[in-house]
Structure 1
Amino acid sequence: AISWAAPAAYGGSQESPVVELNVGGEFYTTTLGTLRKIPGSKLAEMFSSSAKACTDAEGRFFIDHPGTYFGPILEYLRSGQLPRQHIPEVYREAQYYEIEPLVKLLEDMPQIFGEQVARKQFLLRVPGYSENLQLMVRLARAEAVAARYSEVLVCVVHNEKDDANCVDTLRLLEADKRSVVKFGPWKAAPTIDHLLDCVKMDIKAQGYQVQCSKHLGLPANYFYTFCFTWW
């Protein structure tokens, strides 16, 4: 590690020095002024005059973080240009580097607004949503030994009336020692179908192949089978 004051090329120069970067194996060229553009950001702190910087074998300053989407971050710092592609990925990078003005601008874009303000805010109103996802995956994996498919029974109730309609069926299933993952009720506009879409989306995002269908033989509006395919 060396300090930023050390390189002789920087000494006494009034211009912002050129910086060669290695960001997780991706190479970029910029200036120190660009990297310090947003005070309080992680990049500004990394390249402050008091910071220590690591270099690779070629003398490039090294950031130990994936560099695939660092280019759009650099373009924003240079010119204020917003990305037009890979918005969610650039959003995560802006959060990582703590570039708050860019984070806020991206949150106004449809892709991020829909996810952060609409979908995630809905799911925060579904009690135990994340825990239920984890339970579904655990149950599916427990049934996967020497099998191509495993199924998880899910009960979804939107409101108190739905909840009451399922009480007797849930008791029978419990008496038969059937595992059921129950979602709801919740206080938000999205319907049972919307909740099921979210469950499928979030399980697939973990890398699983999963399909959802109504469970035959049980109240069709509330009970569903999630089928995991393993091979």
Structure 2
Amino acid sequence: MTEETEFPSVIELNVGGRHFTTSLLTLTKSEGTMLAAMFSGNYDVKKDKNGRYFIDADGDTFAHVLNYLRYGELPPTQQAPSVYRDAVYFGLHGLTEELERYPSMLSKIQRDAYRTQFPGYQKVLVKILDTVTDSNQKIIDTTSDIFIALFAKVKKNKLPNFDKSHVCSYKPKNKENKHADVSLGPWDIPTPEKDVMNCITFDLKERGFVVTHDSLGQCNYMCEKIPGMPGQLLVENCCYSMFKITFHWWKM
């Protein structure tokens, strides 16, 4: 059985290299938090070479966490995202609930919930960035284009020889066929493809990229009826929507 640790009433902390002095009561006043558990006496809290109790976290952010524990003080709006991250990490449910009422945090929570409705959304973002990185290594230009196929629903094909595994494509006038670099769909909610494309563009811009997108219409894959096959339908087209995302490397 581990022997309980006795902490002094005044605690010296080293949080990510920044030093704080606070009371044991302040650190343990919110029950059920990581800090209360660390300084409950049931755990061996590591110390730095000067004897300060070490917490591996961002010191500047922790200053706001500590002020909340001391006074119930909330951080400035611009600090809300980083403080929210640490509030969740330390299990400070009261602080997380307060921060979730900030407009910036509430908007982020709503956006995150919106994205989860589209299976594979985050993987598509990663694939877009991987693709544009590969493109930049091969082509030196002021812009890079990524083609994406979006489909809200899976269409039941009428011709049995329709190739369901085809790669969606778009044929620009007087240019070679452009195949989709990535695809996303289907999803269960009645959200049109253009709204999902707007969401993807927003997320790329939020990461600092200068991007635009264009709707190209339907995929140009066409399946022709096999001669002698019964039925009136002669041609079946793919109904998936094609979009082009353009990265502008010379615009800031």
Which residue of structure 2 lines up, in the alignment, with residue 58 of structure 1?
50
TM-score for both structures, normalised by structure 2: 0.69
What is the identity percentage for the equivalent residue pairs of Structure 1 and Structure 2? 30
**Gaps (5+ residues) in structure 1?**
11-16, 162-166
Post-superposition CA distance 1:138-194 (Å, at most 9, x none): 211221215355321123456789xxxxx9xx7444994723323445555776565
Runs of 5+ unmatched residues, structure 2 = 156-163, 219-240
Q: Quick one: structure 1 residues 188 and 210, their matched pair in 2 at CA, closer, same or farther if it must change by over 3 Å?
A: farther
1:219 is matched with 217
Distance 1:172 1:65, change over 3 A: closer
Secondary structure of 2:59's aligned partner? coil
User: Residues 30 and 136 of structure 1: is their aligned pair in 2 closer, same or farther, counting only changes over 3 Å?
Assistant: same
Q: CA deviation at 1:94?
A: 0.1
The change in CA–CA distance for 1:152 and 1:58 in structure 2 (over 3 A counts) is same
Alignment of structure 1 residues 173-212 onto 2, 5 Å: 173=170, 176=177, 178-184=179-185, 186=187, 194-204=195-205, 209-212=209-212
Across the aligned residues of Structure 1 and Structure 2, the Cα RMSD in angstroms comes to 3.3
Q: Which moved more, 1:190-199 or 1:106-115?
A: 190-199
1:99 matched to which residue of 2? 92
Q: Provide the rounded CA distance (Å) in 1 between the counterparts of 2:106 and 2:114.
A: 13
Distance change in 2, residues 1:65/1:49 (3 Å): same
Contact 1:69 1:89 in 2 (8 A): yes
Are the counterparts in 1 of residues 68 and 74 from structure 2 also a CA contact under 8 Å? Answer: yes
The answer to whether the 8 A contact 2:147-2:242 is kept is no
What does residue range 109-188 of structure 1 map to in structure 2 within 5 Å?
A: 109-116=102-109, 118-146=110-138, 147=140, 149-156=143-150, 171-173=168-170, 176=177, 178-184=179-185, 186=187
Q: Closer, same or farther in 2 for the Cα pair 1:177/1:154, shift >3 Å? A: closer
- Contact 2:169/2:180 (<8 A) preserved: no
Residue 86 of structure 2 aligns to a residue whose secondary structure is helix
Which is further off, 196-205 or 120-129?
196-205
Which protein has the bigger helix share?
1
**Count of matched residue positions in the alignment of Structure 1 and Structure 2:** 210
CA–CA separation in structure 2 for the residues paired with 1:105 and 1:112: 10
Secondary structure class of the residue paired with 1:143: helix
The question of whether the paired residues in 2 share the 8 Å contact of 1:23 and 1:67 is answered with: yes
| In structure 1, distance between residues paired with 2:58 and 2:144 | 35
